[in-house]
Amino acid sequence: MLSCVVNVSEGRDTGVIRAISLAGGRCVLDVHSDPDHHRTVLTLAGEHVEDAVQGVARRTVELVDLSAHRGVHPRLGALDVVPFVPLDADGSAVAPGEDAGDLAGALDARRRFAFWAGEALALPCFFYGPEQTLPDVRRRAFAGLEPDAGPAHPHPTAGGCAVGARFALIAYNLWLSTGDLDVAASIATAVRGPAVRALGFSTAGVTQVSCNLIDPWSVGPAQVYDAVDRLARDARTSVSRAELVGLAPAVVVDAAPRARWAQLDLDPERTLEARLARSGST
């Protein structure tokens, strides 16, 4: 079984977001929009997830014009990121490194989607995953790195698309009680490492350390919250709130101290496994 966490460069127009979400049908388990990032993250999973992702992709390219986009989050295209993620047969997230073959299904889905999007949507697609990271693609796309599928030049309104095969990660934002972007950027640099990617953003008069926990089994929300808060206090500020973007693997939520779930913005009902079981889309 597979999940796919589609990142769309639209976080403000609720009508457009709803139309894109409806195109994924019952496979859409969660929709998270952020107007400052100007971005929506849709979590899809289920037996027909590849068809659902194609539906989401087609509506996104129809409705989102990247040329008018203004948001703090980096983006390559309207349909910015399409990562396929392996799940066990029961719908639980597969931990990285369990088996070298665990990504095989995700890699096959990545290839099928990229060549479909290149032909059906005239959308240039760049692979990321085992061979190169998403930051590598963002840095080099159309500047020395050619698309793996689709046209060699950006789509006139949709740009390009990064299509991935990866294990589950957690997108996690931590707001700081300061408007000083230099502080947020410095903290993001300090917490960045093999299991954590982080950027500092300025959002609506405050700042944010926006993280991808790429191995949440080893570095989870509690650990990154505490690291950011410690660094923030050294800079005479603090973490004001946390935000889970989308869904988290159940095992990662269960590993966090139950007494801190509210502080960490974790909830057993906001796990991939709980939403998949409730959706009946398997």
Query: What are the pLDDT digits (tens) for 147-183?
Result: 999 999 999 999 999 999 999 999 999 999 999 999 9
Determine the average pLDDT of the residues in 47-72. Answer: 92
Least confident of 67-71, 218-222, 236-240, 274-278: 67-71
Cβ-proximal residues to 41 (8 Å cutoff; 6+ apart), any chain: 5, 6, 7, 8, 30, 31, 32, 33, 171, 245, 246
Look at residue 281 and tell me whether its pLDDT is greater than 80.
Answer: no
CATH number of the domain that residue 150 is part of: 3.30.990.10
Which structure tokens are listed for 217? 């089994």
pTM: 0.94
Verify that 99 and 195 share a domain, yes or no: no
Verify that 36 and 90 share a domain, yes or no: yes
Which structure tokens are listed for 168? 């589950």
Q: How far is CA 56 from CA 20, 63, 108, 121, 182, in A?
A: 5, 11, 19, 12, 37
The residue count for the chain:
282
Q: Residue 223 — pLDDT band, cuts 50, 70, 90?
A: very high
Verify that 141 and 191 share a domain, yes or no: no
Q: Residue 101 — pLDDT band, cuts 50, 70, 90?
A: low
Determine the average pLDDT of the residues in 5-25. Answer: 97
CATH number of the domain that residue 254 is part of: 3.30.70.670
Q: Domain limits at 80?
A: 2-165
